[in-house]
Structure 1
Amino acid sequence: MMGDPLDLLALEDELSAAERETRDRVRALVDEHVRPHVARWFADGVFPLDLVPHLAEAGLLGMHLHGHGCAGRSAVEYGLAMAELEAGDSGIRTFVSVQGSLAMSAIAKHGSTVQQERWLPAMATGDAIGCFALTEPAAGSDPASMTTTATRVGDEWVLSGRKRWIGLASVADVAVVWARASDPADETAAGAGRVRGFLVPTSTPGFVATPIEPKLSLRASLQCDVVLDDVRLPADAILPHHPGLAGPFACLAEARYGIAWGAAGAARDCLDVALRHAGERVQFGRPLAAFQLTQAKLVDMALEVSAAQLLALRIGRLKDAGRLEPHQVSAAKLANVRSAIDVARTARTVLGGDGITLEHSPMRHAANLESVRTYEGTDEVHTLILGRHLTGHQAFR
């Protein structure tokens, strides 16, 4: 009996029953709550906050974290969920990634027990939303050049600076803000101006988040400019563990992992749409799928999708085994997003003129993936990470 024609390599056989259940459950959620509405969200530039309870109920917020109400699912299950969410829209996967892989991960990895108990249960249920404020107007790929400061004044920290492209900041309840910390009474890491993380309730005076508009990509999502104008925090607002850029980089690795899976999901959705359209659209007396040039496009896309899925699954297995290395995450993020953009653009050509409408997903995916290609490390950054691994030479500066 013929199986799924999109599963060229029978990858279904590589998944456990639990992994298939997670995938199918998230796919059903996307079919019910995302697909019927996402074109309008994208057209109107709206992030659907009423979707958050559904994501929380499905256990998707911090789903790969353990304890504090988090689902504690495997890396592969998390990846499969990200693929299904991004098959719906990159903006929806971005929400789950910012909430879980960045903000919640930062608190879980670097926070105190009190901080974890204060925020993680509420974030897992969607009752609190978080954001992750690392990038600045002049410090994107080079976070070491950040200028945001945190100065110890008596029993308080005072934060000043600007951040840019901060997902969810305008709707967040808490921001994980990275700043250069200085404590006149401390000559150790904080006193030396080392990068530290701080938990900033967004209701704190001096914290202002403004959505960036207009955008041509990730329109069903929120990215913001953030101003920190002498934001005063208690002494215990600092994340106590892992000072330095290793702190945010550990969170970025989690987000990049999810992106590799998400991009594969977006690509598969584009192929699915193109294949169905080619079978239904009749020209010159035959369906488009019967023409050699169309078949060549479909085959090229199917090969790219299969390779992306294999790569995502491989790094997922490595991550579950505790063996995943940063350069491997870079390889998957770089390769899969590149492939997904190519698949989305090719799928649009199969759709002809109808492909530019929001009735079909490929052009929306292509636009979104331009943002995904840029955030959590540009092509250039990941290329240099891989170049360093191959040659042993640092070429960033």
Structure 2
Amino acid sequence: MVDHRLSEEHEALRQSVQDFARKDVAPVIADYYEREEFAYPLVRKMGEMGLFGLPVPEEHGGMGGDYFALCLALEELGRVDQSVAITLEAGVSLGIMPLLRFGSDEQKRTWLPKLATGEVLGAFGLTEPDGGSDAGATRTTAVLDGDEWVINGAKAFITNSGTDMTGFVTVTAVTGERPDGRKEISAILVPSGTPGFTVAKKYSKVGWNSSDTHALSFDDCRVPAANLVGERGRGYAQFLATLTEGRVAIAALGVGTAQGCVDECLRYLGEREAFGHKIGEYQAMQFKVAQMELRAHTARLAYYDAASRMVRGEPYKKQAAIAKLASSNAAMDNARDATQIFGGYGFMNETPVGRFYRDSKILEIGEGTSEVQLMLIARELGLPA
């Protein structure tokens, strides 16, 4: 029997995050967004709530929950604001999970307790200025010199990389050549403040204005050889696995935004009058919101399916790609329709739908573009690469 009802624990978590999003985030986030300022008080509050530690075992200072719990939290945050939601998503899926899955015992002892409580944020440097979706075209290099890695290169669009809370960035770098002539790519942890590691000025972005995003550069940056994360030469494969997990989390965030658009439109349809009637009485408006609810509901089922497969230890690469594609489409389409329903007010940044519209485009790009998701689905169906 298929049952999509949440367990008591998951439902209690969902309600707790929903309360936080509505009472703490919603009243203040527009101001942070307008100032393009990182919302430190809200991020610290998420740390106090244990949200960063949801999928982290108790032995490492976490909540001992599962990845689905993180997804539920992201959906509720995305329902109100994406900047805060992506800070949590990247902090966990890109900052914590690589160490949890592949890190050494010493790396876990040193970093996971601080990451799980939100005291410190971790980031992951994969994308490069000339790389984009071609992550295998990594140019950053790391040469072993005695007991140190010497790193040179650059990374682009790295979330959570330049905050006062950022403790490190794990970067992918070419560490040699494989027997078949291809690049050997490894992952190396670089603590913030390491000489030769420079964080550029923050980007001026279309959306996600209250999240932290920077370009990074490495100029003869030296870190201990022990900062290798996982196996040498397995950095690219490790991060592909990390991205697959992250797509499920991004899908949950996108579903939250798609549902948030429905929430805002239902409120507005009951308040706004035109030609002597509440605009919610017009069938054209009713059909538009019905379509929006359809998109949010079906995208939610897609990420529930992917997350449940992940938690059970079953293959889920195709389902993760489907969920990410469905949810990013739903968020973008719903944000567009919500902005249309709100008319001129929807074009104003102080309205949630205005922020949703600006924010949602990146969901079709980050952690694998929509085209990459289609490619992955096709390959999982057995079609040739």
Smaller-chain TM-score bracket: over 0.9
Listed one character per residue, the Cα deviations across residues 18-47 of structure 1 (whole Å, up to 9, x for unaligned) are 111010000111122211111111111111
Contact 1:327 1:385 in 2 (8 A): yes
In the other structure, the counterpart of 1:8 is none
CA distance in structure 2 between the aligned counterparts of 1:197 and 1:340, rounded to whole angstroms: 32
**Matched residues in 1 for 2:105 and 2:204: separation?**
40
What is the aligned counterpart of 1:102 among 90, 94, 100? 94
Code of the aligned partner of 2:173: A
Q: CA deviation at 1:116?
A: 0.5
DSSP 3-state at the match of 1:194 = strand
Per-residue deviation, 1:88: 2.1
* Map 1:38-117 → 2, pairs under 5 A: 38-66=29-57, 67-117=59-109
Q: Is the 8 A contact 2:262 2:338 kept in 1?
A: yes
Alignment correspondent of 2:238: 247
Give the structure 1 partner of residue 184 of structure 2.
194
Q: Can you list the C-alpha shifts for 1:127-166, whole angstroms capped at 9, x where unaligned?
A: 2221100100011211110100000111211000000000
> Is the Cα contact below 8 Å between 2:54 and 2:67 reproduced in 1?
no
1:325 to 309, 316, 320: 316
Rounded to whole Å, the distance in 2 between the matches of 1:222 and 1:253 is 22
1:62 shift after superposition: 3.5
Mapped partners of 1:91, 1:59: distance in 2: 18
Q: Figure out how many residues of one structure are paired with residues of the other and give that number.
A: 379
Letter in 2 for 1:76: F
Please identify, of 233-242 and 282-291, the stretch whose mean Cα deviation from structure 2 is larger.
233-242
Distance 1:381 1:290 in 2: 41
Task: For residues 344-385 of structure 1, give each alpha carbon's deviation from its aligned partner in whole angstroms, at most 9, with x where no partner exists.
Answer: 110111112111123321121121111121110001111111
Tell me the TM-score normalised to structure 2 length.
0.94
Is 1:274 equivalent to 2:265 in the alignment? Answer: yes
Equivalent residue, structure 2, for 1:205: 195
Contact 1:207–1:229 (8 Å) recurs in 2: yes
Give the 5 Å matches for 1:22-41. 22-41=13-32
**Secondary structure class of the residue paired with 1:232:** strand
Greater CA drift, 88-97 or 372-381: 88-97
Provide the secondary structure at the position in 1 that maps to 2:304.
Answer: helix
Q: How far did residue 324 of structure 1 move?
A: 4.0
What does residue range 95-244 of structure 1 map to in structure 2 within 5 Å? Answer: 95-171=87-163, 172-182=166-176, 193-241=183-231, 243-244=234-235
Q: Do the aligned partners of 1:345 and 1:363 also contact (CA within 8 Å) in 2?
A: no
Distance 1:178 1:90, change over 3 A: same
| Distance in 2, Cα, partners of 1:222 & 1:372 | 16
- Give the equivalent residue in structure 2 for 1:387: 378
Q: CA RMSD in A?
A: 1.9
Name the aligned partner's letter for residue 360 of structure 2: L
Q: CA deviation at 1:320?
A: 2.0
Compute the displacement of 1:16 (Å): 1.7
SS at match of 1:352: helix
- Structure 2 Cα separation of the partners of residues 198 and 286 of structure 1: 61
Identity of aligned residues (%): 32
Q: 1:365 maps to which residue? A: 356
Cα distance, 1:193 vs. partner? Answer: 4.8
Deviation at 1:73, TM superposition (A): 1.4
CA contact (8 A) 1:211 1:222 kept: no
> What does residue 351 of structure 1 align with?
342
Return the alpha-carbon distance in structure 2 between the equivalents of residues 308 and 153 of structure 1: 49
The answer as to whether partners of 2:153 and 2:219 remain within 8 angstroms in 1 is yes
How many Å separate the matches in 1 of 2:13 and 2:366? 26
SS of aligned partner of 2:79: helix
Choose which of 266, 287, 291 in structure 2 pairs with 1:300.
291
Q: Contact between 1:181 and 1:192, CA under 8 Å: does it hold in 2?
A: no
- The answer to whether the 8 Å contact 2:74/2:253 transfers is yes
**Structure 2 stretches lacking a partner, 5+ long:** none
What amino acid is the match of 2:155? K
Aligned equivalents of 2:183, 2:226: Cα separation in 1: 18
Q: Distance in 1 between matches of 2:182 and 2:328?
A: 38
**Code of the aligned partner of 1:209:** V
The ranges of structure 1 where at least 4 consecutive aligned residues each deviate by more than 6 angstroms after the TM superposition are none
Matched, 1:285 2:285: no
TM-score by length of 1: 0.91
CA distance in 2, matches of 1:207, 1:50: 27
* Residue 17 of structure 1: how far off its partner (Å): 1.4
Look up the equivalent residue of 1:224 and give its one-letter code. Answer: H
Give me the whole-angstrom Cα distance separating, in 2, the residues matched to 1:254 and 1:390: 19
Distance across 2 between alignment mates of 1:57 and 1:344: 31
